[in-house]
């Protein structure tokens, strides 16, 4: 059965996480700390996957349903909606090390100027 806006708004905290399902994989995860997170389960390539749509009330019930519909379109076209949401930074280990070293060197130089 589909969720109603009032059910989402007045969902109370419990000792453990619990889910309020909306259907077609979309649910609201209610955490013990009071946060309410939109999630969607789907299957791609024979594996179960999970998407996060954001926190309620920043993402409303209507917006979460729109995002679910977009995911269903991508799945219908044979794509993996989770892969398109993650930007992949192609950085080698050497590039990361040089970047870290550059930041660290600047911090050390600043400390030397202050007399540390």
- Reported as a single tens digit per residue, the pLDDT across 60-107 is 999 999 999 999 999 999 988 888 555 566 788 898 888 888 888 877
Number of domains in the chain: 1
In-domain check, residue 97: no
Q: How confident is the model at residue 114 (pLDDT cuts 50, 70, 90)?
A: low
pLDDT digits (tens, 9 = 90+) for 74-83: 999 998 888 8
Tell me which long-range contacts 57-64 makes (C-beta under 8 A, separation of at least 24): 57/9, 60/5, 61/3, 61/5, 61/8, 61/22, 64/22, 64/26, 64/28, 64/38
Question: Is residue 34's pLDDT more than 80?
Answer: yes
In-domain check, residue 53: yes
Tell me the residue range of the domain where 11 lies.
5-86
In-domain check, residue 115: no
CATH at 60: 3.30.160.390
In-domain check, residue 94: no
Question: Is residue 110's pLDDT more than 80?
Answer: no
């Amino acid at each position: 059965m589909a969720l109603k806006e009032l059910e989402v708004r007045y969902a109370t905290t419990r000792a453990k996480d619990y889910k309020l399902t909306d259907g077609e994989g979309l649910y609201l995860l209610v955490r013990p700390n009071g946060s309410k997170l939109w999630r969607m389960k789907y299957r791609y390539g024979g594996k179960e996957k999970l998407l996060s749509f954001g926190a309620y009330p920043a993402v409303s019930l209507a917006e979460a349903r729109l995002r679910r519909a977009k995911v269903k379109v991508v799945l219908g076209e044979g794509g993996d909606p989770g892969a398109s949401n993650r930007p992949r930074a192609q950085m080698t280990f050497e590039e990361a090390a040089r970047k870290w070293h550059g930041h660290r060197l600047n911090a050390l130089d600043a400390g030397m100027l202050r007399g540390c």
